[in-house]
Amino acid sequence: MKTLLLMRHAKSDWDHPDLDDHDRPLNRRGLRNAPSMGKFLRDARLIPNACLTSTAVRARHTAWLAAAAMGRDFTITEVPTLYDFGDGEAIERAIAMHGGNHSRLLVVGHNPCVQAFALHGSDDEGNAEAKADLSAKYPTAAITHMEFDMANWSALPRTTGSIKAFWKPRDIT
């Protein structure tokens, strides 16, 4: 069994219109929510074995802040293809390529890609309420907890997972 923790980056700062989208940092709320969600995962005993993150500043910072709040004893790998706003296929490919044999994986990415992957990469056996909630809106720093019945992440394109939970920062603070 594999566990995926799929996280949208925390709230970004739009106060610098001259910055390229890739270089936007987190705002005050993002700097608060990223570690908050990391502490939540730590307290829920869902610390990942590894993390894959987009190369965008806001996603990398989210990953590092969440990891620090968990006590970070896992590798964070920056995956350029996770800087994607599409249908979730970039996440699927990144996990299949970089997930290895890790039993619990955290992926930090962007919407609508994160939301699309959670919806299309899940079966109907999971938590219907959580799936409906994330379908309606996938706020910044929110996390979907998914489980996959497979031995290696490379099986991901042929395997769907079950949504176990969906957590938003406002629900855990």
So where are the chain's domains?
Answer: 2-10+21-172
Contacts 24+ apart (CB under 8 A), 58-61: 58/9, 58/10, 58/12, 58/24, 58/25, 58/26, 58/30, 59/9, 59/83, 59/108, 59/109, 59/110, 60/108, 61/9, 61/10, 61/25, 61/26, 61/30, 61/34
Q: What are phi and psi of 104, to 5 degrees?
A: -135, 120
| Dist. CA 3–CA 23, nearest whole Å | 30
Q: Contact, 169 vs 21, CB < 8 A?
A: no
Mean pLDDT for the stretch of residues 127-138: 95
Q: Summarize pLDDT for 139-160 with one digit per residue, the tens.
A: 999 999 999 999 999 988 778 8
Fold of 2-10+21-172: Rossmann fold (3.40.50)
Which has more pLDDT, 156 or 2? 2
Q: What is the mean pLDDT of the chain?
A: 95
- For the cut 90, the answer to whether the pLDDT of residue 17 exceeds it is no
pTM comes to 0.96
Per-residue pLDDT, 6 = 98
Q: Summarize pLDDT for 19-40 with one digit per residue, the tens.
A: 999 999 999 999 999 999 999 9
Q: What are phi and psi of 3, to 5 degrees?
A: -115, 130
